[in-house]
Structure 1
Amino acid sequence: MALGQRSHDQRFFVKTQRRQEVQVLLANLPRYVQHLQQHPHSLLARLLGVYSLRVARGKKKYFIIMQCIFYPTSRISERYDIKGCEVSRWVDPAPEGSPLVLVLKDLNFQERTIKLGAQRSWFIRQMELDTAFLQELNILDYSLLVAIQFLHKDEKDGYHSLFSTLRSLQGASKSEGTGGQNCRMLPNLPNALHILDGPDQRYFLGLVDLTTVYGFRKRLEHLWKMIRYPGQSISTVSPAHYARRLCRWVQAHSE
């Protein structure tokens, strides 16, 4: 089981990986880089490094370092891990007043809405582009991370003037034009690529866990879950179904 830990300043996330997952990452790395060049405002988590470590004569351990989606964390009030399905997608909330920080799941979000206003169309389109890319790689079981921060009054008053001019990210293809890239106005804030502001709330959004291939084992798991949970929405489905379902979830839970 993969384990993760944030850096002391909360900006980076370090996560252990199995050898097979590292092989998937490295095999897909050229296409991952190309996708980010073509779509510089992509919601895909930014992978910063893949490493291995062997202590004495122990087994080699693999880990990745990526940019943390939930940064800065100081005012985040809710965190969710969304897969667009139902089975095993509930987390018991922490008791009121508890210092425990939990990442909730799909069923916890049922009555909530991501209120983005004018930025909703950009968000839906970018989800379509990113999930189509993961489908091409035969990847599934990834998550959309969502965190919510309530804006202060002065931030709400400045909502329409918050955005700076469109940033030209290094490596972006200039020949395609901004329309093909689905670029947007980025807020002048840390971690701008994963932050979208609505009229009343700030959202931290990103796609993570990009290493699960729909191979023989996942196909068997799909059949087993279909038998065990008939008629219910399960996580293990084909990459095409997975991508469509998560995009439908975004459309249904945003305005």
Structure 2
Amino acid sequence: MVGRRVRFIVMGNLFCSEHRIHRRYDLKGSSYGRKSDRFEEETGDATTLKDLDLNFAFRMQRPLYKELHEQLRRDCAFLESEGIMDYSLLVGVHFCDDIVPASKMALSTFTTSPEELSANMLSACQSSVSMPEPCLSAKDLDKMADHRNFRKPLARLGAHLPARAERTSMSNIDPFLSGGRGFSSGRSKSGGEAYDVILYFGIIDILRDYDISKRLEHAYKSLQTDPSSISAVDPRLYSQRFRDFMGRIFIKEC
């Protein structure tokens, strides 16, 4: 339409990295409809999984842990003040051993060779990545007194963040999502298996306000399930639930 003002928001590719993204999750902190609809044998490293597919908790160093949750607090406060809800934390996980642990949930079946995938990623990101960065774990960073000689920061919020992925179950991460009532105050319990990983993440889908369509969606779905389990809720409740859930996924080193 002539004279109509149109605004665009352009976001960078969160997963533009020389590291292979083995797992990717779209996390909201809700449970209704929050499970991948693909069969296990169809699930690969390009599949975007959801809250109920998650079977890891991520341990990180205390400074990174504090920085992450403070940033989440600020972002959620801003989105809440603008009446925004239904956003997600998109999380990409690179396993440093380049071996994806098999599980009932999100078993990887590769249709592209590692060499082809790596070449495609480097080609897509050539404007922003000029040389590989080492894949360092949280333990490696502990041993290094000075990172300043590297061309890029080794760990920065949202990109190339080292952590330990601990195998767990959704009932340990959050009883609310696994069928319990309300949120637990407990922390995730380790399932025994742990892997050095590099994390990439950021908040996406930040343009949905709590308008009449979302209010109607909330009313309709509330007739079918627990109202607090659905994605379409008041921005204040959404913000609190989102932060509570992230507090159970991203935990600090003991």
Q: Smaller-chain TM-score range?
A: 0.5 to 0.7
Higher relative contact order (CA 8 A, sep 6+): 2
Match of 2:197 among 177, 188, 201: 201
The answer to whether the 8 A contact 1:222-1:237 is kept is yes
- Using a 3 Å threshold, how does the CA distance of structure 1 residues 210 and 117 change in structure 2: closer, same or farther? same
- Using a 3 Å threshold, how does the CA distance of structure 1 residues 162 and 248 change in structure 2: closer, same or farther? farther
Deviations 1:51-110 (A, max 9, x none): xxxxxxxxxxxxx4310111216411100000100011001456559766100000001x
1:139 corresponds to: 84
Match of 1:224 among 220, 227, 250: 220
Is 1:155 matched up with 2:136? yes
* Structure 1, 92-101 or 115-124: larger mean CA deviation: 92-101
The answer to whether the 8 A contact 1:90-1:107 is kept is yes
The answer to whether the 8 A contact 2:95-2:197 is kept is yes
Taking the TM superposition and a 5 Å limit, the aligned residue runs for 1:1-255 are 26=7, 50=8, 64-72=9-17, 74-92=19-37, 95=40, 101-109=46-54, 111-118=55-62, 119-151=64-96, 155-156=136-137, 158-160=140-142, 161=144, 164=147, 187-188=153-154, 192-195=156-159, 196-198=161-163, 200-230=196-226, 233-255=229-251
- Using a 3 Å threshold, how does the CA distance of structure 1 residues 254 and 209 change in structure 2: closer, same or farther? same
CA–CA distance in structure 1, aligned partners of residues 79 and 234 of structure 2: 11
What is the letter of the counterpart of residue 78 of structure 1?
R
CA–CA distance in structure 2, aligned partners of residues 163 and 226 of structure 1: 53
Question: How far has the Cα of 1:188 moved from its partner?
Answer: 3.9
- Using a 3 Å threshold, how does the CA distance of structure 1 residues 150 and 141 change in structure 2: closer, same or farther? same
Question: How far has the Cα of 1:194 moved from its partner?
Answer: 2.0
- Using a 3 Å threshold, how does the CA distance of structure 1 residues 114 and 163 change in structure 2: closer, same or farther? farther
What secondary structure, in the 3-state scheme, does the structure 2 residue paired with 1:87 have? coil
CA–CA distance in structure 2, aligned partners of residues 198 and 235 of structure 1: 28
What secondary structure, in the 3-state scheme, does the structure 1 residue paired with 2:46 have? coil
**Normalized against structure 2, the TM-score is what?**
0.60
Question: How far has the Cα of 1:231 moved from its partner?
Answer: 5.5
Deviations 1:153-177 (A, max 9, x none): 9723642339756xxxxxxxxxxxx
CA–CA distance in structure 2, aligned partners of residues 216 and 106 of structure 1: 26
Question: How far has the Cα of 1:217 moved from its partner?
Answer: 2.0
CA–CA distance in structure 2, aligned partners of residues 89 and 71 of structure 1: 25
**Normalized against structure 1, the TM-score is what?**
0.59
Question: Tell me, which stretches of 5 or more residues in structure 2 are unaligned?
Answer: 98-133, 165-195
CA–CA distance in structure 1, aligned partners of residues 10 and 241 of structure 2: 28
What is the letter of the counterpart of residue 197 of structure 1?
P
What is the letter of the counterpart of residue 245 of structure 1?
R
Question: Tell me, which stretches of 5 or more residues in structure 1 are unaligned?
Answer: 1-21, 27-49, 51-63, 166-185
How many residue pairs match? The answer is: 173
CA–CA distance in structure 1, aligned partners of residues 38 and 197 of structure 2: 21
- Using a 3 Å threshold, how does the CA distance of structure 1 residues 112 and 216 change in structure 2: closer, same or farther? same
CA–CA distance in structure 2, aligned partners of residues 129 and 231 of structure 1: 26
- Using a 3 Å threshold, how does the CA distance of structure 1 residues 162 and 87 change in structure 2: closer, same or farther? farther
What secondary structure, in the 3-state scheme, does the structure 2 residue paired with 1:251 have? helix
CA RMSD across the alignment: 2.8
The answer to whether the 8 A contact 1:115-1:201 is kept is no
